[in-house]
């Protein structure tokens, strides 16, 4: 899978390298260029931004498999080059963490934004409530399209991100959400331990809107000697 073709945008050709990894499940409008467009001006300030579309997203072809943090993460290793800062949002945080744990000597810093590490804090009642809501949304939806809307509502995805999606797009998204392969708790804990042992600066950013994501931020920061900051946001 390491030779799977993906589309990569490159903003800036000099300065520190930053790999920006978007989140989302296949069928959503998520892509590197769409999700990180506000960061593009940093290229004019001396940063070299590497912005991939994960498989099945944006301009990258359908991989014929579910979203998978390990397989997607393997595709990011070459983008790190001889050294880079990694940034991941949501499921993209799982992808970024995998890549960082594989090549810790080449990672200058790791920033994860509302990471999909919910399972590492599953014992926290705030996270348990969130996970129960996700399960209920999955099980009691009458169609894949309804499932997509209900799960995204629980996860705080702004409605404008899918308001103009047609039924086929929502159906694909709903199916993808059931199949997405989020790393198990033990894997995430092991990867965070690698980050800690390598002394990689870790920043976890959450929006304060969700007690569940706040708990995840606290747990991840404690596990890897990182820093958790809340940047106020009304959604994910």
pLDDT of 1 over the 70 cut: no
The mean pLDDT value for 147-157 works out to 91
In DSSP notation, 137-191 reads HHHT-SSHHHHHHHHHHHTT--GGGTTT--HHHHHHHHHHHHH-BPPPHHHHHHH
Measured between alpha carbons, how far is 25 from 217 in angstroms, rounded to an integer? Answer: 21
Sequence-distant (6+) residues with CB within 8 A of 140 are none
DSSP code at position 81: T
pTM for the full model?
A: 0.95
Res. 3 pLDDT band, cuts 50 70 90: low
Res. 5 pLDDT band, cuts 50 70 90: confident
pLDDT of 166 over the 50 cut: yes
Q: What is the dihedral of CA 72, 74, 75, 79, to 10 degrees?
A: 130
Longest dimension (CA), the chain: 51
């Amino acid at each position: 899978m390491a030779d799977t073709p993906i589309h990569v945008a490159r903003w800036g050709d000099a300065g520190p390298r930053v790999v920006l990894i978007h989140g989302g499940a296949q069928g959503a409008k998520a892509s590197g260029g769409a999700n990180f467009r506000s960061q593009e001006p940093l290229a004019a300030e001396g940063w070299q931004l590497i912005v991939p579309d994960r498989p099945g997203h944006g301009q990258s072809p359908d991989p014929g498999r579910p979203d998978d943090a390990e397989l997607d993460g393997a595709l990011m290793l070459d983008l790190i080059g001889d050294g880079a800062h990694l940034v991941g949002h949501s499921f993209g945080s799982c992808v970024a963490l995998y890549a960082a744990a594989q090549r810790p000597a080449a990672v200058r810093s790791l920033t994860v934004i509302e990471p999909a590490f919910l399972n590492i804090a599953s014992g926290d009642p705030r996270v348990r409530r969130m996970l129960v809501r996700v399960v209920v949304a999955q099980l009691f939806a009458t169609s894949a399209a309804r499932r997509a809307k209900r799960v995204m509502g629980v996860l705080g995805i702004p409605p404008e991100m899918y308001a103009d999606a047609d039924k086929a797009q929502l159906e694909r998204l709903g199916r993808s959400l059931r199949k997405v392969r989020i790393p198990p708790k033990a894997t995430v804990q092991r990867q965070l331990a690698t980050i800690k042992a390598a002394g990689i600066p870790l920043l976890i950013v959450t929006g304060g809107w969700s007690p569940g994501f706040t708990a995840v931020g606290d747990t991840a920061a404690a596990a890897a000697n990182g820093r958790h900051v809340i940047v106020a946001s009304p959604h994910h």
